[in-house]
Amino acid sequence: MIQQRNNIRLFEGVDRVAILLYLLLVLAGLTCVASAGYDDSIEGFFNFRQNHIKQAMWAGVAFVVGLFILLLDSRYYHMYAYYAYVGALIFTAGTIIMPEAIAPVTKGAKAWYELGPVRIQPAEFAKIATALAMARMMSNYSFNIHKASDLCRVAMIILLPFAIILLQNDTGSGVVLCSFIFVLYREGLNKWLCIPIIMVATLFIFSFLFTPLILLIVLVLIFTLSSAMMMGGAWRIHAIYLAGIALAAFIIYGLSAIFFDGALSGYQSLIITVIVAIVIAGIYAVRKHIASIFLTLALFIGSMIFVPAADLIFESVLQPHQKERILSFLGIIKDPAGIDFNVNQSKIAIGSGGLFGKGFMEGTQSKYFVPEKHTDFIFCTAGEEWGFIGTAIVLSLLCAIILRLMKMGERQQEPFSRIYCYSVAAIFLFHVMVNLGMTVGLMPVMGIPLPFMSYGGSSMIAFTILLFIAIRLDASPSKGAYALN
């Protein structure tokens, strides 16, 4: 039976370092919001219509919610994980079917509830429920991450909210759920299963940068060399296979140009090349009794099928502004006064801060030129006003809280607590990497807030709940909420 261990004093075992890091980050965020979001047209620094005062109120509400979480019996998070998950799915999907008076379309996304002056983004809370449900599923004694059926159930837990958030046209929030792949890897997911995921992302990007012929040649080289390594370095055997496919590609492209006068598209030529490759590989493999070539060929064909599919995904799934952001990030289009404006101004603001920054409320670039300066691009305010030293401190605090969550996970005795702590760490890490990356131009702009710093009540409360549940689970006796008799 699962039972709570007795003799727990209030707040005993609470990780005070994590609480301190949380309070420091919230304070840093309030300072940045006060500087970047201060409205001169509103009289009074402490006016309740000022963004920093609203954020301070949300931070207070979040902290009260956090204290309430610490008071709850830690068993509840395990017991009601699935109920919370189903409720979060319904709550998130509700924005799609609700009338615009309740769920208005904002920047192309129908992802918020608007109840008077209060706006709620349910996707932020769906992350919490998904982390709890995944921890509950993976902590079952019958669960085995190496079983396909169990792995599919975990995938469904992640994909259901992901699909709903995509239907809201809030792709940035949905992509955050991909961070759970780090948790699966930590729990023993075969590293070779991660390779197709990396390959899909890489092919999606490369399909915009290179011609089909170049992609074909690169893929043939990769798969042939990898197959050769799997066979213990049988380079001579696979060199013939490589030469056959490469020769077929050039012949087909040459014939297309001569006889069809460009009538065949690049992808049509690729399809013909794949068919030729199958024939060549089949004949060669049968004659030489080399079964591994078929594995290489299966991966190769799958990649070739995905390359044209990337265009379909790009055109039918992504919104126009998302397409522009990806193409701008890859350098395919240049629009300094349009889609590139945010990132360019953000980089100027961060660079102008120098070593020590310009000082509190002295940042002119971030205040007057950077859009979304107090939400998604809050980091550029810290860069301009606090300089390199200030941003290094902020980044250190963010890294410290992520490492603290990982440390919490490692000292858990029960898998539910460990998996949940790592899920929170993965979510925080993804948010930090993407937000800072898009601020300095290393990643496409995705509209992902910086934990505890970006303006927004939903994100502040959601991040607080994520963290304080982890702290509560960690504070349980023997570093876990459950003991087995």
Of 103-112, 214-223, 316-325, 334-343, the least confident:
214-223
The SS3 call for residue 370 is coil
More confident residue, 298 or 328: 328
Residue 293, pLDDT above cutoff 90: no
More confident residue, 64 or 207: 64
More confident residue, 42 or 299: 42
Residue-wise pLDDT for 80-101, tens only, equals 999 999 999 999 999 988 888 8
pLDDT of residue 248: 61
Structure token digits, residue 85: 């998950």
pLDDT of residue 231: 54
| Average pLDDT of the segment spanning 257-271 | 56
Please tell me what DSSP assigns to residue 477.
Answer: G
Q: What are the domain boundaries of the chain? A: 2-169+335-484, 198-318
Query: Where does the pLDDT of residue 254 fall: very low under 50, low under 70, confident under 90, or very high at 90 and above?
Result: low
Residue 265, pLDDT above cutoff 60: no
Query: In the chain, what are the helix, strand and coil shares in percent, each to the nearest 5?
Result: 70, 0, 30
Residue 252, pLDDT above cutoff 70: no
Residue 126, pLDDT above cutoff 60: yes
Residue 449, pLDDT above cutoff 50: yes
| Average pLDDT of the segment spanning 225-232 | 56
pLDDT of residue 236: 59
User: Taking the chain, what is the end-to-end CA distance rounded to the nearest angstrom?
Assistant: 6
215 and 296 Cβ atoms separated by less than 8 Å: no
High-pLDDT (> 90) share of the chain, %: 28
Interatomic CA distance for residues 60 and 460, integer angstroms: 10
Interatomic CA distance for residues 79 and 404, integer angstroms: 25
Please tell me what DSSP assigns to residue 110.
Answer: -
- Give the chain's radius of gyration (CA, Å): 26
Contacts of 298 (CB under 8 A, 6+ apart): none
User: Of the ranges 232-246, 364-378, 459-473, which is most confident?
Assistant: 459-473
Of 89-93, 325-329, 371-375, the least confident:
325-329
Residue 215, pLDDT above cutoff 70: no
Residue 330, pLDDT above cutoff 80: no
The predicted model scores a pTM of 0.79
pLDDT of residue 485: 32
Residue-wise pLDDT for 5-15, tens only, equals 444 455 677 88
pLDDT of residue 8: 47
Give 55-80 as a DSSP string.
HHHHHHHHHHHHHHHHHS-THHHHHT
Of 23-27, 104-108, 163-167, 309-313, the least confident:
309-313
What is the widest separation between alpha-carbon atoms in the chain?
A: 85
Residue 70, pLDDT above cutoff 70: yes
Contacts of 149 (CB under 8 A, 6+ apart): none
Structure token digits, residue 253: 């492209």
Residue with tokens 């956090």: 66
Residue 255, pLDDT above cutoff 70: no
Mean pLDDT of the chain: 78
Query: Where does the pLDDT of residue 478 fall: very low under 50, low under 70, confident under 90, or very high at 90 and above?
Result: low
| Average pLDDT of the segment spanning 142-146 | 86
Residue 303, pLDDT above cutoff 80: no
pLDDT of residue 1: 40
Residue 388, pLDDT above cutoff 80: yes
pLDDT of residue 431: 93
470 and 45 Cβ atoms separated by less than 8 Å: no
